[in-house]
Amino acid sequence: MNEAPEKTNRLFVETYGCQMNEYDSGIVRRLFGDRGYSVVVDEKEADVILLNTCAVREKAHERVYGRLQSLNHLKRKNPGLVIGVLGCMAQNLGEDLHGMGLPVDLVLGPDNYRDLPELVEGIRTGNGGATLARLSSSETYEEIEPEVVSGCLAFVTIMRGCDNFCSFCVVPFTRGRERSRNPDSIVQEIQNLIQNRNVAEVTLLGQNVNSYKMDDGLDFAGLVRRILNETDIKRIRFTSPHPHDFPLHLLELMASEPRFCNHIHLPLQAGSSEVLNRMNRDYSKETFLNLVKQIRTLMPDVGLTTDIIVGFPGETEEQFQETLELVRACEFDMAYMFKYSEREHTLARKKYADDVSEDDKLDRLGRLISLQTTLGAEKNKREVGRSHKVLVEGTSKRSSSDWMGRTDSGKVVVFSAPEGASLTDLDAYRGTLVDVEIESCTQATLKGKADWSSASSRTGGKVRDNASEPAAV
């Protein structure tokens, strides 16, 4: 008598979209790990395939549809394979995903991951497919530490959901209302990342991260101060904020604390006050520009990045010109630029006709990208001759003999490794700060020479003297 093949528990997770989704995928991996699952990097080896999706842009939807179609052959080959769609697209489309002829067994929104392993086990034992897309007013997964780590960098979610209801945005409908995570769990997670994973820099995540607030009055600035006081983290960054949540004491904390990086992602979205009003952004171009001036007064070397949408319903050429003018005035270091696309459930879809032609959207996007590319290159040229503290992150994409990191203001810097250093030696330097003099630049990257005598170890002392010598074998 032949024995039945032993059941295997192998999980493959693929993530689309923002850092919040990356963090949520870490939560999913941790939940399945606690059930005895191992994570594989090849979907062909998996018993369970989960796609964690984004609903913000139309292209993100199209990528997921195409990916699901490409998985059809695996499903036919292995009918017991479980394929699930998670995240914002799952929340937005729900049951509809089951009726598209796609190989989907499970559809689950981002507030329901605690139920995920049990639902998957039910499907694997013959209970059929499932959809779960309820929104929570309290779920923050605060006791689950997913360890979303890349080298010496890590993401930590401090809040979920959004209360702003920008008319173009689907997030309040896919991730629910704002709720902030307990600060004790945040501090503990960061300290664990430092001690267990040698993390030197964390990025605090949330849909509207700087509106963090606890019942006792602790706000975002107070949370950052607690992290600075109670952990040994070398650098703190955050994303993504809203321009209406930048009180003076938050900016003053950033200006006074070297470990709180002077890099602010400040989403503009549009440079016309009329368009901003239709977007329900609750600020005008004048108030936005005044905020930028206040930030630069306190922090002249601040790095400013932004998001911009072109072709929003009703946008005229004259209003688009206002966006170009404001981009010139703000001198952003970098921008994420998009053409408008309608999203299900948003106010803009219900209230406004998508009346800017595709040709006009593409033309405006091209002109905006051209302008920002020029401005960003000019700003990089001003860095030549200056010296920056750079956190060593890893090797350059083009050559392992060059290493890379970022300045306090968020600019990517490529610099030569210590003479004779190997990839093994990189581990001794990763997460350390080194002085780099900028010698040249491209449109996107600074290039410089590192003063390796300035590098200190993760514990504060000098990096070992023989770091450039060949490692023992």
| Average pLDDT of the residues in 238-244 | 93
Per the model's pLDDT, the better-predicted residue between 422 and 175 turns out to be 175
pLDDT at 457: 55
Each residue of 33-57: pLDDT tens digit? 999 999 999 999 999 999 999 987 7
pLDDT at 456: 67
Tokens of 357: 């032609």
- Give 59's pLDDT tier (boundaries 50, 70, 90): confident
pLDDT at 407: 97
| Residue ranges of the chain assigned to CATH 3.40.50.12160 | 10-132
- On average, the pLDDT of the chain sits at 91
Q: Is 440 helix (H, G, I), strand (E, B) or coil?
A: strand
Each residue of 436-455: pLDDT tens digit? 999 999 988 999 999 999 88
Residues 252, 355: Cα–Cα separation, whole Å: 43
Measured at the CA of 237, the angle between CA 412 and CA 58, to 5 degrees, comes to 80
Each residue of 255-314: pLDDT tens digit? 999 999 999 999 999 999 999 999 999 999 999 999 999 999 999 999 999 999 999 999
Each residue of 108-150: pLDDT tens digit? 999 999 999 999 999 999 887 788 888 888 999 999 988 789 9
User: CB of 426 within 8 A of CB of 394?
Assistant: yes
pLDDT at 96: 82
* Alpha-carbon distance values, 133 to 21, 157, 390, 473 (Å): 16, 21, 43, 53
Question: Beta-carbon neighbour count of residue 52 at 10 Å?
Answer: 28
Number of H helices, E strands in the chain: 15, 20
- Domain at 149-381: CATH code: 3.80.30.20
- Annotate 237-254 with b (16+ C-beta within 10 A) or e (fewer): bbbbbbbbbbeeebbebb
- Give 60's pLDDT tier (boundaries 50, 70, 90): confident
User: CB of 242 within 8 A of CB of 264?
Assistant: no
Residues 105, 49: Cα–Cα separation, whole Å: 10
307 pairs with which residues across the strands? 336
Select from 19, 44, 286, 33 the least CA-distant residue to 149. Answer: 19
Residues 221, 249: Cα–Cα separation, whole Å: 7
131 pairs with which residues across the strands? 107
User: Has domain 10-132 been given CATH number 3.40.190.80?
Assistant: no
Residue listed under structure tokens 């994303």: 239
* Alpha-carbon distance values, 76 to 79, 106, 224, 324, 423 (Å): 6, 17, 50, 51, 43
pLDDT at 4: 47
| Average pLDDT of the residues in 22-30 | 95
| Residue ranges of the chain assigned to CATH 3.80.30.20 | 149-381
Question: Beta-carbon neighbour count of residue 107 at 10 Å?
Answer: 25
User: CB of 290 within 8 A of CB of 246?
Assistant: no
Q: Is 397 helix (H, G, I), strand (E, B) or coil?
A: coil
Residues 86, 28: Cα–Cα separation, whole Å: 10
pLDDT at 1: 44
User: CB of 135 within 8 A of CB of 374?
Assistant: no
Each residue of 184-200: pLDDT tens digit? 999 999 999 999 999 99
- Give 5's pLDDT tier (boundaries 50, 70, 90): low
Order across the sheet with 130-132: list the strands.
38-39, 10-15, 48-53, 82-86, 106-108, 130-132
pLDDT at 423: 77
- 374 pLDDT exceeds 60? yes
Tell me the pTM: 0.89
Residues 318, 128: Cα–Cα separation, whole Å: 55
| Residue ranges of the chain assigned to CATH 2.40.50.140 | 387-454
Residue 269: CA atoms inside 13 Å, Cβ hemisphere, count? 25
pLDDT at 471: 27
Each residue of 315-359: pLDDT tens digit? 999 999 999 999 999 999 999 999 999 988 899 999 999 999 999
387-454 adopts what CATH topology? OB fold (Dihydrolipoamide Acetyltransferase, E2P) (2.40.50)
User: CB of 451 within 8 A of CB of 435?
Assistant: yes
Residue listed under structure tokens 């790095």: 303
pLDDT at 462: 44
User: CB of 333 within 8 A of CB of 372?
Assistant: no
- Give 469's pLDDT tier (boundaries 50, 70, 90): very low
DSSP structural state of residue 5: P
Select from 247, 239, 172 the least CA-distant residue to 201. Answer: 239
Residue 208 CA from chain centroid, whole number = 12
| Average pLDDT of the residues in 376-381 | 96
